[in-house]
């Protein structure tokens, strides 16, 4: 189904629900679709319901968002990572070259604070952005990232 | 020039319907190139011509330097295809499927054995080769198909909707394998997909096709930027709207500012790199930003920009929507 048809069908499903009061059960592999359409979702694995909730609540519950921070050079990223290592609000740090990915708590430190912290210690951040968890992240959190060998129908 | 695919004015007409209308483009070696378009846009027809399944009405194309009409056999030798519909024998094992396919390419026994071991290894299928395909998961079946497409050591691999119907994990795994083939084996990949997220993740460049024409062609990143400006939303620690707006206007890359009680929406010509700059700029003038968020147009926004209105906006009754859906489904080919 192309993008336009998909959206048309989504709209149809929403209207059917709203205008005719029809209860709708959806099975899908496309988590974005579930996020857009569903009031509530159940995540199933191995025949069991692992969790049931609204998409928003599921995303909020997962908590941690990720800050991507880029520096002009790898050495700077390395040094800044060292500085962050001692901070309680930093859950995890990943470094690829001049880029850092920080997992931070939901209530945690925000972009402006990180920029100010860097400046205070003489670092210049070249770019920074925050990624909140998607419903797909939630799904993978509960179901796990399987190795290809463990895939099943 | 190291183009692996050269297309010039390629055209296909069916009984007066121009399905592909004078398409011109080059695809370089080692590129992952995506064809995107609504149903009936002409992307499948274009790909079929490149695979020598259809002959063009006008124009020409070369794949690996061979003409798609005059040197069909040569073209076929250097391409691999993974079709949208399952095209693997579910009653045979994975290995039997691979062996059958290798025989179709007239590979001798020794080469067949060697290649089968090689593609099984490449797709992490070693150990599963004696399972009947019908007993394999959807993701594994798909990987056998990609492995089969790679048996003849193609320079170009055509993938038509490769992840259709796969679950999240299997989809992500297949993406990794496609990247691996491209990266390690240096293979050029031509991908068609309806999933913009997939195109955005995998493709170095994409062509958006609508009604037989290429309406846009570039890297996903550039296409997204061309369609709309990124938006930054700002929350201030204290209400300081008036004076901050005046200062912000000095910055050339800020295109539009909308203020509403303590928060701002700023359209910017740029991306993540403007965030630290903006925070420093505000701090230096005594305005404290308490939170900042960047919104970027998605490739799906871009796609809809080029291929027509989102039908979601269409007014009308349920009945009309239903009819429109049937119409569009029937238009699918």
Write the CATH number for B164. 3.40.50.300
DSSP string, B195-260: -HHHHHHH-SEEEEEETTEEEEEE-HHHHHHHH--EEEEEEESS--HHHHHHHHTT-TTEEEEEEE
Measured between CA atoms, how close is A147 to chain B, in angstroms?
Answer: 8
Asked if residue B24 belongs to a domain, the reply is yes
10 Å CB burial of residue B75 (0-12, 13-18, 19+) is buried
CATH classification of the domain holding A95: 3.30.70.100
Give the span between the Cα atoms of A18 and B200, in whole angstroms: 33
Tell whether A72 and A126 lie within a shared domain.
yes
For residue A90, what pLDDT is reported? 85
CA angle B7, B74, B141 (to 5 degrees): 90
Same domain as B114, residue B78: yes
Say how many C-beta atoms besides its own lie within 10 A of residue B294's C-beta.
Answer: 20
Q: Are both A30 and A92 inside the same structural domain?
A: no
Spatial separation of the C-alpha atoms in residues B103 and B205, rounded to whole Å: 34
Work out the pLDDT band at B331, boundaries 50, 70, 90: low
Cβ of residue B284 closer than 8 Å to a chain A Cβ:
no
Pairing, β B79-82 against β B156-160:
parallel
User: Is the CB of B169 less than 8 angstroms away from the CB of A19?
Assistant: no
Mean pLDDT of chain A: 87
Q: Are B104 and B25 in the same domain?
A: yes
Per-residue pLDDT at B312: 41
Same domain, residue pair B187 and B103: yes
Task: Give the C-alpha separation, B35 to B227, whole Å.
Answer: 18
Domains contained in chain B, number: 2
A46-69: b (≥16 Cβ within 10 Å) or e? eeeeebeeebeebbeebbebbbeb
**Number of inter-chain CB pairs under 8 A, A vs B:** 133
CB contacts of B270 in chain A (<8 Å) are none
- Tokens 């995998």 locate to B202
- Report if residue A151 sits inside a domain: no
Q: Does B137 touch chain A (CB under 8 A)?
A: yes
CB B133 within 8 A of CB B125: no
Backbone angles phi, psi at B20, to 5 degrees: -130, 125
Residues A74 and A117 in one domain: yes
Kindly state whether residues B236 and B202 are assigned to the same domain. Answer: no
Q: Which has the closest alpha carbon to B139: A145, A37, A51?
A: A145
Is residue B78 located within the same domain as residue B23? Answer: yes
Condensed to tens digits (0 to 9), the pLDDT of residues A123-143 reads 989 999 988 889 998 998 898
Q: Do A15 and B318 touch (CB under 8 A)?
A: yes
pTM of the predicted model as reported, rounded to 2 decimal places: 0.80
Q: Is A53 helix (H, G, I), strand (E, B) or coil?
A: strand
* Percent of chain B predicted with pLDDT > 70: 91
pLDDT at residue B316, rounded to an integer? 55
Range of the domain at B273: 229-295
Question: In the prediction, which pLDDT does B242 show?
Answer: 66
Q: Mutation test of the interface with chain B: which of A27, A115, A140, choosing the one with the most B Cβ atoms within 10 A?
A: A115
Q: C-alpha distances in angstroms, A121 versus A81, A125, B178, B292? A: 12, 11, 42, 21
Q: Residue B183 falls within a domain, yes or no?
A: yes
| Shared-domain flag, residues B76 and B170 | yes
Alpha carbon of A135: minimum distance to chain B alpha carbons (Å): 11
Q: Can you read off the two tokens belonging to residue A57?
A: 């609540």
Dist. CA A104–CA A98, nearest whole Å: 19
Helix axes B168-184, A135-143, angle to 10 degrees: 100
Tell me which chain B residue has its CA closest to the CA of residue A123.
Answer: B276
Query: Which residue segment(s) compose the domain that A120 sits in?
Result: 61-131
What is the structure's pLDDT at B296?
86
> How high is the pLDDT of residue A151?
52
Q: How far is CA B264 from the centre of its chain?
A: 34
The pLDDT, as a whole number, for residue B2 is 82
Asked if residue B244 and residue B197 are part of one domain, the reply reads no
Q: Which of the residue ranges B63-77, B106-120, B246-260 would you say has the lowest mean pLDDT?
A: B246-260
Q: What pLDDT is recorded for position B269?
A: 87
pLDDT at A150 > cutoff 70? no
Contact A17, B317 (CB under 8 A): no
Res. B239: pLDDT tops 80: no
- Predicted confidence at residue B81, as pLDDT, reads 93
At which of B172, B190, B222 does a domain end?
Answer: B222
Out of B137, B272, B311, whose CB is closest to A151?
A: B137
Residues of B in contact with A127 (CB under 8 A): 271-273, 275-276
pLDDT of residue B132: 96
Low-confidence winner among B178-182, B230-234, B258-262 (lowest mean pLDDT): B258-262
Residue among A5, A111, A148 minimizing CB distance to B39: A5
At B329, the pLDDT band (50, 70, 90 cuts) reads low
Q: Helix B274-284 crosses helix B241-248 at what angle (to 10 degrees)?
A: 120
Chain A 70-99, CB below 8 Å of chain B: which residues? 70
Residues of B in contact with A146 (CB under 8 A): 169
Q: What is the mean pLDDT of chain B?
A: 88
pLDDT tens for B241-262 read: 567 788 888 888 988 888 877 7
**Mean pLDDT of the region B37-43:** 90
On whether residue B317 sits in a domain, the answer given is no
Instruction: Please name the residues between 26 and 45 in chain A that touch chain B, using a CB distance below 8 Å.
Output: 29, 31-32
Residue B109 — very low, low, confident or very high, per pLDDT cuts 50/70/90? very high
What pLDDT shows up at residue B155?
Answer: 94
pLDDT for B315 equals 45
Per-residue model confidence as pLDDT tens digits over B271-325: 889 999 999 998 888 888 888 888 888 999 899 889 986 444 444 566 666 666 6
Secondary structure element (H or E) that encloses residue B55, with its range: none
B326 touches chain A (CB under 8 A): no
Number of domains in chain A: 2
> Is the minimum CB–CB distance between A128 and chain B shorter than 8 Å?
yes
Q: How remote is the C-alpha of B143 from its chain's centroid?
A: 18
Same-domain pairing of B81 and B184: yes
Shared domain check, A70 and A103 = yes
Say how far apart CA B170 and CA B118 lie, in whole Å: 21
If pLDDT is split at 50, 70 and 90, which confidence band does B153 have? confident
Residue B319 in domain: no
| ipTM of the complex model | 0.74
Residue A11 touches chain B, beta carbons under 8 Å: yes
The pLDDT score that the predictor gives to residue B313 is: 44
pLDDT digits (tens, 9 = 90+) for A40-91: 999 999 899 999 999 999 998 887 788 899 998 888 999 999 988 878 888 8
Task: Identify which has the larger pLDDT, B223 or B246.
Answer: B223
More confident residue, B138 or B238: B138
Same domain, A85 and A24: no
Residue B69 contacts residue B55 (beta carbons within 8 Å): yes
């Amino acid at each position: 189904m192309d993008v336009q048809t998909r959206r048309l069908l989504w709209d149809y499903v929403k209207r059917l629900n709203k205008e005719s009061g029809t209860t709708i059960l959806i099975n899908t592999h496309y988590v974005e679709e579930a996020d857009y359409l569903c009031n509530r979702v159940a995540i199933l694995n191995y025949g069991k319901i692992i969790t049931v909730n609204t998409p928003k609540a599921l995303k909020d519950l997962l908590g941690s968002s990720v800050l991507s921070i880029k520096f002009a050079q790898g050495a700077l990223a390395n040094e800044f990572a060292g500085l962050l290592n001692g901070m309680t609000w930093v859950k995890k740090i990943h470094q690829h070259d001049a880029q850092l990915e920080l997992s931070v708590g939901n209530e945690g430190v925000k972009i402006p604070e990180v920029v100010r912290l860097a400046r205070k210690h003489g670092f210049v951040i070249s770019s920074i952005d925050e990624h909140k968890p998607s419903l797909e992240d939630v799904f993978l959190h509960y179901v796990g990232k399987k190795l290809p060998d463990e895939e099943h129908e | 020039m190291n183009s692996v695919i050269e297309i010039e004015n390629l055209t296909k007409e069916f009984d007066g319907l121009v399905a592909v209308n004078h398409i011109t483009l080059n695809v370089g070696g080692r590129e992952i190139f995506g064809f995107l378009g609504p149903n009936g846009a002409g992307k499948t027809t274009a790909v079929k011509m490149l695979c020598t399944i259809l002959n063009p009405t006008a124009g020409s194309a070369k794949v690996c330097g061979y003409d798609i009409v005059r040197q069909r056999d040569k073209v076929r030798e250097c391409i691999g295809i993974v079709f949208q519909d399952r095209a693997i024998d579910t009653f045979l094992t994975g290995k039997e499927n691979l062996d059958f396919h290798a025989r179709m390419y007239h590979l001798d026994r020794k080469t067949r054995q060697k290649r089968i071991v090689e593609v099984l290894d490449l797709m992490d299928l070693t150990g599963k080769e004696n399972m009947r395909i019908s007993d394999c998961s959807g993701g594994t079946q798909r990987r056998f198909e990609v492995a089969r497409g790679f048996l003849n050591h193609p320079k170009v691999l055509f993938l038509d909707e490769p992840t259709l119907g796969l679950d999240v994990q299997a989809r992500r795994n297949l993406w990794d394998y496609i990247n691996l083939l491209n990266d390690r084996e240096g293979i050029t990949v031509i991908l068609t997909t309806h999933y913009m997220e997939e195109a955005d993740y995998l493709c170095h460049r994409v062509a958006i096709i609508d009604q037989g024409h290429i309406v846009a062609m570039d890297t996903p990143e550039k296409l997204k930027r061309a369609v709309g400006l990124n938006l930054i939303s700002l929350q201030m620690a204290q209400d300081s709207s008036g004076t901050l707006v005046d200062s912000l206007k000095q910055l050339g890359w800020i295109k539009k500012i909308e203020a509403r009680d303590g928060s701002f929406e700023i359209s910017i010509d740029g991306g993540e790199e403007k965030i630290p700059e903006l925070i420093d700029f505000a701090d230096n003038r005594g305005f404290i930003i308490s939170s900042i968020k960047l919104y970027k147009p998605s490739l799906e926004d871009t796609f809809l920009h080029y291929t027509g209105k989102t039908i979601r906006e269409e007014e009308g009754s349920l009945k009309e929507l239903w009819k429109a859906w049937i119409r569009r489904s029937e238009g699918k080919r």
